[in-house]
């Protein structure tokens, strides 16, 4: 009888332990989902940082009400910019001084600088952990990794080629760089710090943007009236998506499209600074969806999107730096039409745009 009672007690205890374990698992699952939900909802765009090339400054813009909240001096002819939330640092490539400058992202005070002679003006990206900046250095053909906190060279990815425009892929696993005079795309692993492959091309790419799975890269090239569609799996250009200028702007220009960005739903937005055009294209059909001519000399187009929060279905927002010393907000409707929004007055010659995200 005693043995039977012990067995019953053991079974009851075992059931209690299993019930307790299930309850704890359920609690942790709910807590994890709650915390993840909070993290997703709390992560949003706080500020846009706009490089003003002609007056040597960076404007801080609230991208929601489109007001400039601050402007701080950075040096002669700044161009590229990245923002590291991990280290609380804004990194600006100052072309006129051949320096990479590091500013506190709250006080905007200069924390230090690194001299990089001959760096590419559009060749600055963050590594996935945001602790290093990759700089394209055409004279050596390398991508130089500089630690954000120590502001010292930490590594080099060699034999990339004379890289110009550099962009991190959406997966953050690869970085893509345009190269010339041997034209092509170099693909590097920023974590393993090595060159993965080169894709040779018969045109010189100037700007690029990747689809989310990085199976396609869209390119611009001098004297090309449209967007080139690069199939990365086959390592070849699959087609040209033509974007013919209106008759009154049909005179040939060297750089027809200076900046690209990819949206959800197979849409690509291209900005033509020389012709004051912003086009949106459905790349599945290869046909334009819309074009606006009211944006003056659009130099740079950047999508306003959090790296964590999911985008609103059927709706995207862009910021475009313009030749009238403003940043223009543009919404994309569910029908793929461009909807011009408010402008923020910034410094002279605005170019590259970067975002700061927060909770």
Would you list the DSSP string of 237-299? EEEEEE-PPPGGG-S--S-S--EEEEETTTEEEEEETTTTEEEEEETTTTEEEEEE--SSS--
What DSSP string runs through 24-47? HHHHHHHHHHHHHHHHHHH-EEEE
Mean pLDDT of 226-240: 96
Cβ–Cβ contacts within 10 Å for residue 248, how many? 8
Candidates 184, 186, 212, 177; CA nearest to 303 is 212
Higher pLDDT, 240 or 30: 240
Structure tokens at 333: 């409707």
Check whether 13 has a pLDDT greater than 90.
no
Mean pLDDT of 262-276: 94
Query: pLDDT grade, residue 315 (50/70/90)?
Result: low
Check whether 310 has a pLDDT greater than 50.
no
For residue 34, the model assigns a pLDDT of: 36
| Topology at the third CATH level for domain 43-358 | Methylamine Dehydrogenase; Chain H (2.130.10)
Query: Mind listing the pLDDT tens digit for each residue in 127-142?
Result: 999 999 999 999 999 9
Listed in sequence order, the residues at least 6 apart from 162 whose beta carbon sits closer than 8 Å to its beta carbon are 138, 139, 141, 179, 180, 181, 182
CB 298 within 8 A of CB 322: yes
Mean pLDDT of 203-216: 94
For residue 30, the model assigns a pLDDT of: 36
Query: Mind listing the pLDDT tens digit for each residue in 28-53?
Result: 333 333 344 433 344 577 899 999 99
For residue 45, the model assigns a pLDDT of: 73
Query: Mind listing the pLDDT tens digit for each residue in 159-177?
Result: 999 999 999 999 889 999 9
3-state DSSP assignment of residue 15: helix
What DSSP string runs through 78-110? EEEEEEETTTTEEEEEEGGGTEEEEEETTT--E
- Give pTM, 2 decimals: 0.84
Higher pLDDT, 325 or 314: 325
- Alpha-carbon distance of 87 to 125, in angstroms, equals 15
Listed in sequence order, the residues at least 6 apart from 184 whose beta carbon sits closer than 8 Å to its beta carbon are 161, 178, 198, 199, 200, 201, 205
Q: What is the DSSP letter of 5?
A: H
Higher pLDDT, 2 or 151: 151
Mean pLDDT of 60-70: 94
Listed in sequence order, the residues at least 6 apart from 102 whose beta carbon sits closer than 8 Å to its beta carbon are 89, 90, 91, 110, 111, 112, 113, 114, 148, 151
Query: What is the share, in percent, of the chain residues with pLDDT greater than 90?
Result: 76
- Alpha-carbon distance of 136 to 118, in angstroms, equals 9
Bridge-based pairing of strands 44-52 and 350-358 is antiparallel
Domain boundaries, the chain: 43-358
In the predicted model, what is the mean pLDDT of the chain?
Answer: 86
């Amino acid at each position: 009888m005693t043995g039977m009672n012990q067995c019953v007690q053991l079974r009851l205890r075992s059931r209690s332990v299993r019930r307790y374990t299930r309850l704890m698992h359920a609690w942790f699952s709910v807590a994890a989902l709650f915390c993840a939900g909070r993290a997703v909802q709390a992560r949003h765009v706080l500020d846009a940082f706009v490089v003003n090339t002609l007056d040597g400054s960076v404007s801080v813009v609230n991208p929601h009400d489109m007001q400039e909240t601050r402007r701080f001096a950075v040096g002669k002819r700044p161009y590229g910019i990245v923002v590291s939330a991990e280290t609380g640092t804004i990194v600006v490539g100052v072309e006129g001084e051949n320096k990479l400058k590091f500013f506190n992202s709250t006080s905007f005070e200069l924390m230090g600088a690194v001299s990089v002679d001959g760096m590419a003006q559009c060749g600055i990206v963050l590594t996935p952990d945001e602790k290093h900046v990759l700089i394209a250095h055409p004279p050596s053909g390398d991508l130089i990794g500089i630690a954000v906190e120590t502001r010292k060279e930490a590594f080099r990815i060699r034999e990339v080629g004379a890289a110009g425009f550099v962009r991190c892929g959406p997966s953050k696993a690869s970085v893509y760089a345009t190269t010339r005079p041997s034209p092509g795309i170099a693909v590097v692993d920023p974590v393993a710090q090595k060159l993965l492959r080169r894709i040779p091309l018969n045109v010189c790419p100037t700007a690029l943007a990747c689809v989310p799975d990085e199976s396609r890269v869209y390119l611009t090239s001098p004297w090309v009236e449209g967007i080139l569609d690069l199939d990365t799996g086959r390592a070849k250009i699959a087609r040209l998506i033509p974007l013919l200028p209106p008759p009154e702007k049909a005179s040939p220009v060297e750089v027809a499209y200076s900046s690209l960005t990819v949206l959800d739903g197979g849409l690509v937005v291209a900005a033509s600074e020389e012709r004051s055009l912003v086009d949106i294209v459905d790349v599945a059909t290869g046909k334009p969806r819309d074009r606006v001519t009211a944006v003056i000399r659009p130099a740079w187009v950047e999508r306003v999107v959090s790296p964590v929060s999911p985008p609103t279905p059927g709706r995207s927002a862009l910021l475009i730096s313009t030749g009238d010393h403003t940043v223009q907000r543009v919404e994309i409707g569910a029908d793929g039409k461009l909807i011009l929004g408010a402008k923020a007055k910034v410094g002279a010659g605005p170019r590259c745009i970067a975002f700061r995200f927060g909770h």
